[in-house]
Amino acid sequence: MNDRHPIGCFVTGTDTGVGKTLASCGLLHALARHHARVVGMKAVAAGAEPDGQGGWANEDTLALRAASTLAVPPELDNPVLLPDPMSPHIAAQRAGRSVEIAHIVDSYRRLAAQADAVVVEGAGGFLVPLSEQHTGADLACALDLPVVMVVGLRLGCLSHAALTAEAIRARGLRLAGWIASRVDPAMLVPEENMAWLRQHLQAPLLADIAFQAHPDARATGYVLPQEWQ
């Protein structure tokens, strides 16, 4: 175990499907250039498919594992796996399960104890319900990690980005940086949107991920903050 605290961050996004997994995998590759033991964590996954070894796994978890240099048991890198691909609170209800934040935090701590860097991908957007009582924001607070926000560049993203940044900071969490994910190749005036985001988010731009016809997490061009190098 390392004698210093591992690097950790919580990756959220302006919405579901904005590129959090691709961005998180890219961040893992970037961190792996500086640190030996980097690992991704999909804290709450909704939607499972065969894992190729007779079991079930979530596709985000599999992608994060492929970008990690440290292999860990599934209960650590994906403590909550729900079968149905829908909002976690509903998926949990349908599965007769409950999503316990304390359980996820315990998994994170055990994971962090083995790692130099941990990238936690949240589910959906920042305020996604995890249960009747809690949201993804409560999980981010319980983990007490700096937050990285993925902005899916498309019409409407400016308000979503500003709302998400405000919600992060309103909880006393630090927005450690943001990532532009150019998911819509037909978006009008993307550079003007980028200029607004750069000016208003007041956090470093960690990566500007081009539209990729064949997404490749190794081709995401990160500039890591000094503290993560």
Ligand X SMILES: Nc1ncnc2c1ncn2[C@@H]1O[C@H](COP(=O)(O)OP(=O)(O)OP(=O)(O)O)[C@@H](O)[C@H]1O
By the criterion CB under 6 A, which residues form the site for ligand X? 13, 16-22, 60, 124, 181-183, 209, 211-212, 215
User: What SS3 class is residue 195?
Assistant: helix
Q: Which two tokens stand for residue 10?
A: 């919580």
Site stretch for Mg ion (CB under 5 A), options 13-21, 47-55, 107-115, 159-167: 13-21
Least gap, CB of 113 to Mg ion (angstroms): 25
Instruction: Verify whether residue 20 is a known catalytic residue.
Output: no
21 touches Mg ion (CB under 5 A): yes
Beta bridge partners of 59: none
Contacted entry of ligand X, Mg ion, none for residue 120, CB cut-off 5 to 8 Å set by kind:
none
Site stretch for Mg ion (CB under 5 A), options 57-65, 79-87, 108-116, 181-189: 57-65
60 vs 116, beta carbon nearer Mg ion: 60
Site stretch for Mg ion (CB under 5 A), options 14-22, 26-34, 166-174, 210-218: 14-22
**Alpha-helix residue ranges (DSSP H) falling in the chain:** 20-32, 59-67, 74-77, 88-95, 101-112, 136-143, 157-170, 190-201
Site string for Mg ion, 84-123 (x = CB under 5 A): ----------------------------------------
DSSP characters over 65-108:
HHH-SS---HHHH-SEEESSSS-HHHHHHHHT----HHHHHHHH
65 touches Mg ion (CB under 5 A): no
Q: Which of 13, 1, 53, 20 has its CA nearest to residue 215?
A: 20
Contacted entry of ligand X, Mg ion, none for residue 212, CB cut-off 5 to 8 Å set by kind:
ligand X
Active-site entry in 29, 42, 154, 182: 42
Q: Which residues are catalytic?
A: 42
